[in-house]
Chains A and B, each alone.
Chain A
Amino acid sequence: DAGVIQSPRHEVTEMGQEVTLRCKPISGHDYLFWYRQTMMRGLELLIYFNNNVPIDDSGMPEDRFSAKMPNASFSTLKIQPSEPRDSAVYFCASSPPGLAGLGYNEQFFGPGTRLTVL
């Protein structure tokens, strides 16, 4: 398996522009997570899906951020409009089915997208 795939790997944009980050999870995994990592705040969970349904979006910073998972093999994180403070590395991760929602299955992370908003 190729692992979790993210694109683009680097994105440089200007303030006010729309940014779309993409993720393809590992086949057979039914959980998908979006994280943001900065030096100041570390790795923060933004939102996660189970079977394509958003379960917890309490980490989404504001309405400028939105995430979708139209099918089991694709998810997007969109920022509109982007601001300089959104500059960070955004990670997508997936994990396999749990035991009726109990326990913890390790998360497999993608390589990340480094976003720079000027």
Chain B
Amino acid sequence: EDQVTQSPEALRLQEGESSSLNCSYTVSGLRGLFWYRQDPGKGPEFLFTLYSAGEEKEKERLKATLTKKESFLHITAPKPEDSATYLCAVQVHGGYQKVTFGTGTKLQVIP
């Protein structure tokens, strides 16, 4: 069974304090890994897609990286508006459009 584990469950940062969120996966054959952001009371919002080990994607203060076993979401000099729950999800070969989500990391950035 495909498994996606995110750590830590919660993270509290001071504004400007950079850190990384981890997403480790155990799947039969990774086709793609995705990061979503979810604000309280809202649905997840797509951030990045990563397809192969070594690939990196950036958006503002966020950078996602992928290895053969895990992905990191690096947050550089975060701001309070980056506070949200960050979800990663995996898609496997043969799974078509089905993705399996991790339980997320709740990030709080304090001014």
Contacts and interface: CB of A to CB of B under 8 A. Distances in A.
B20 interface: no
Interface in B67-111: 87, 91, 96-104
Nearest to B98: A56
Interface residues of B, number: 21
B43 A91 contact: yes
A93 B101 CA distance: 14
Contact of A45 (B34, B49, B99): B99
B99 A42 contact: no
Given A56-B96, A111-B42, A42 B49 contact: no
Interface in A81-106: 91, 93, 95, 98, 101, 103-106
B49 A109 contact: no
B103 A104 contact: no
A75 interface: no
A107 interface: yes
A43 B87 contact: yes
23 contacts: A42-B87, A42-B103, A42-B104, A43-B87, A43-B103, A44-B101, A45-B98, A45-B99, A45-B100, A45-B101, A48-B97, A48-B98, A55-B96, A56-B96, A98-B97, A103-B32, A104-B99, A106-B46, A109-B43, A109-B45, A110-B43, A111-B43, A112-B42
Pairs of residues from A and B, 9 with the lowest C-beta to C-beta distance, nearest first: A109-B43, A42-B103, A106-B46, A43-B101, A104-B32, A109-B44, A91-B43, A31-B97, A110-B43
